Structure 1
Amino acid sequence: MIIIGHPDIPFDPLYYVESIEEIVKTPSNSTLWLGAFADAKEIAQHCYENHIAYGVMAESVNDALLANALHAQYILADHSLASKLQKIAENYLFDAKILVPISDESEMEIVAEAGIDGVIFQDAIIFSEQS
């Protein structure tokens, strides 16, 4: 199980960007956080074309399918959608990992029992005002 952002486990944070221009402000070789896929398709396309690792939030199966086709590293979704996406990801051999955003360690067990790739804590994402 992938666990990103837990205080006891070292991790590489995701850097939130809202535009292609903001990418240059992030550390080289970092993974970007684009937010909702529906609002970040242009940035996702740019990341795909330039081989930049990124994660997005999927709000539908179609979002996840498109994000995977654009080589997203992480596809985040709420628990109920993540369960559906995990089955699709296994069937179609997604390269992207399906993650559920959580706020408490106790939620990890539920995600693990559902067979979802992993979890991500809010602290794993660095927003521009923190950098």
Structure 2
Amino acid sequence: MQLIGHELVEFEPLFWTQSTNEMSKDRLNLFEFDKDLIKFAKQHQMNFATVCIDTKQAIIANACGAKFILCHKLIAKNLSDLAQFYLFDAKIACVITHEHELEELAKFGVDVAIFQKGVVGGNF
């Protein structure tokens, strides 16, 4: 499992963005699933991650080239199984606040645990 934002692990942070004006080629842009932001990121060859609330969004985000698909722990197991079955290029990720949550994410087969320090901006 990859860790982002843990004090002992070197990482590239994700930058929360809410509009195309805030997006940059020089960083990993993170936003709630939004077709317009995904189109913009693709057109400008920007790395992006997106927060998905269901299977449909995760399938589309992966097909569009998302680096990470962030989801709530309640659907993490389903999305991890889906990603493994369909060999997603995107990694399934959850934001956590404490190390003790790592064991739960490992049971779900989540690829990436993102600590709050791993996201610049936004409320996680």
Residue of structure 2 equivalent to 1:4:
4
1:113-128 equivalent positions in 2, closer than 5 A: 113-127=107-121
Residue of structure 2 equivalent to 1:54:
48
CA drift at 1:50: 2.2
Please say if residues 112 and 118 of structure 1, whose CA atoms lie closer than 8 Å, have aligned partners that are also in contact: no
Q: Identify the range of structure 1 (92-101 vs 112-121) with the bigger mean alpha-carbon deviation.
A: 112-121
CA drift at 1:69: 1.4
For residue 91 of structure 2, the aligned residue among 94, 97, 103 is 97
Residue of structure 2 equivalent to 1:19:
19
CA distance in 2, matches of 1:86, 1:45: 24
CA distance in 2, matches of 1:3, 1:62: 26
SS at match of 1:101: strand
| Gap regions ≥5 residues in structure 2 | none
CA distance in 2, matches of 1:112, 1:8: 19
Residue of structure 2 equivalent to 1:33:
30
| Amino acid across the alignment from 2:45 | H
Alpha-carbon RMSD across the aligned residues, in angstroms, is 1.5
Once the two structures are superposed, residues 1-38 of structure 1 have per-residue CA deviations (whole angstroms, 9 ceiling, x without a partner) of 111111111111111111112224xxx5311111x21x
| Amino acid across the alignment from 2:55 | V
TM-score, structure 2 as length reference: 0.91
| Amino acid across the alignment from 2:18 | E
Please say if residues 14 and 30 of structure 1, whose CA atoms lie closer than 8 Å, have aligned partners that are also in contact: yes
CA drift at 1:49: 2.2
Please say if residues 99 and 119 of structure 1, whose CA atoms lie closer than 8 Å, have aligned partners that are also in contact: yes
| Gap regions ≥5 residues in structure 1 | none
CA distance in 1, matches of 2:18, 2:108: 32
CA drift at 1:56: 1.0
